[in-house]
Amino acid sequence: MIRLGFLERVGLFKRLNDDQLSLVRECCVEKEYKRGDKLFCKGEDAKYIWIVIDGLIDLHFDLPEGFTMEEGVISSLSQTMTLGWSSIMPPYKYKLSACCTTRKCKVLRLDAKELKQICEKDVKIGYLVMANLAAVVSKRFHQLQDQVAERRGHDIM
């Protein structure tokens, strides 16, 4: 079972106390993947939130034939980083695909329905999780802006 110390370092669960983290831990399952394995694909029903324990996960667009997967990479996620937040936001479909890019990846898979139930039962948990989610999304958006600016070869931001 995952330690509370790990969960408290995850951005999505910042400021949750040990009792609240224990509730969250109950909807977590550890999973292992190897290089090339997909966690989920764009367009699939989003049922889980994923947290990287070890390894590297790439979020990418599925590009047409003739393009490499690397050309479609939007973000590379490492330890304690969260992906799959589409599972708690309508329309509940993954917007990108996620793939293990290191020899081994270990992740936590959280059932989004169970997490939503916890958030509805304890509105303080719900508020903190949603506030933290907004911070995660904002940070990713700014990182994407920086990547776009870098790829264009000049500072447009």
The domain locations on the chain are: 4-149
| Preceding amide of 90 cis, omega within 30 | no
Q: Is residue 25 within 8 Å of 116, Cβ to Cβ?
A: no
- Bridge pairing between strands 57-60 and 97-100: antiparallel
Q: What is the pLDDT of residue 5?
A: 97
Q: What is the pLDDT of residue 109?
A: 98
**How confident is the model over 84-125, as pLDDT tens digits?**
999 999 999 999 999 999 999 999 999 999 999 999 999 999
Residue ranges in the chain whose pLDDT is less than 50: 155, 157
Q: What is the pLDDT of residue 154?
A: 55
Predicted structure pTM score:
0.87
Q: Is residue 39 within 8 Å of 107, Cβ to Cβ?
A: yes
The CATH superfamily holding the domain 4-149 is: Jelly Rolls (2.60.120.10)
